[in-house]
Amino acid sequence: MAASEQTSSRRKRYARQPQNAVPLLAQKRCCLEYVANYGILSVPQLARLLDTSPKEIRKQMRPLYDMGLVSVVPVSRTALVEPEEGNTAALLFGSAPNLYTLTTAGARVLMHLGVLEAMPTIAAYGPRNSLFLAHELGVKDARIWLERTARQSQGHQLEQWKEGGDAVFPLAPLPSKKVVRPDAWFVYRMDSQVLVGLVEVDRGTERGTRRWQEKLRAYTTLFQGGRLKEQTGYHKARVLVTVPNERRRQALTRFLSEQGGRSIVEMFWLTTAQTLDAPGFTASVWQQPGSALLKPLIPALSAGERMP
């Protein structure tokens, strides 16, 4: 294919095709609402949320894009590859899946439908901040996993989800700058029981252990004080850490067991990012510091049993 033809093909992906307005039937509306609620979502993530195929998502999203209700984030494939993928010429070929964000026009439509009460803050994504996209999508994966788990379990509900700046825990009276910054935290209800989780998405891209040393000190202060209860309403929580592969999981659990006190490191549960592809808590895919065993985040409970 000639270079000019390749360029033309790429531009079509980010060029809107004028068309008449398309009715927002159920699936298109669901897609638009999910993008508004999450802020940014990829084609595979939308496919998991709607329990359909990526091909069907692309079919549903294209009219929304052409009508100007969503934007497609221009990002290279290299920005989203896993850290362990080889640094070879193969990364020059292929493309990243479409990433969608809401537009002002899309927000107005949802406000008219009563889905949004006010105009949301719409983040500006693009090539200049693409280095952070893989991490942000990893945080979205955790939320999607929880929502899908709740959907398949009677009496389950994701009651609260906070991420980014909304997830910060002050460690001292304001205006102190001492804080814990998990990527997200949540409250998940299972009938009469509750799981409170602090989410850490570790991509294994930082060298050394300085960042985790700082996090471990901050979490120690958080769990020994009363700030957790003040913000979540609960005294206890687990730190759920996703990592790119088993090697990273083993290295990080070893570091935590060596550097942290027993009562603190027992709060940490680590798993590979692939765990989030399938909903559910009962698969034996989680590791705690000080143990080589893999176990379920929450074992299958009989009637009347309580979460350990």
Domains observed in the chain: 10-125 (1.10.10.10), 133-277 (3.40.1350)
Average per-residue pLDDT in the chain?
Answer: 86
Q: Model pTM?
A: 0.88
Contact between 184 and 158 under an 8 Å Cβ cutoff? The reply is no
> What tens digit of pLDDT does each residue of 94-111 get?
667 899 999 999 999 999
pLDDT at 305 over 60: no
Residue 41 has pLDDT above 80, yes or no: yes
In sequence order, what are the residues at sequence separation of 6 or more whose Cβ sits closer than 8 angstroms to the Cβ of residue 110?
32, 33, 36, 102, 116
Residue 2: pLDDT band by 50, 70, 90 thresholds? very low
State the Cα–Cα distance between residues 79 and 83, nearest whole angstrom.
10
Percent of the chain at pLDDT > 90 equals 63
Question: What is the band of 176 on the pLDDT scale with cuts at 50, 70, 90?
Answer: low
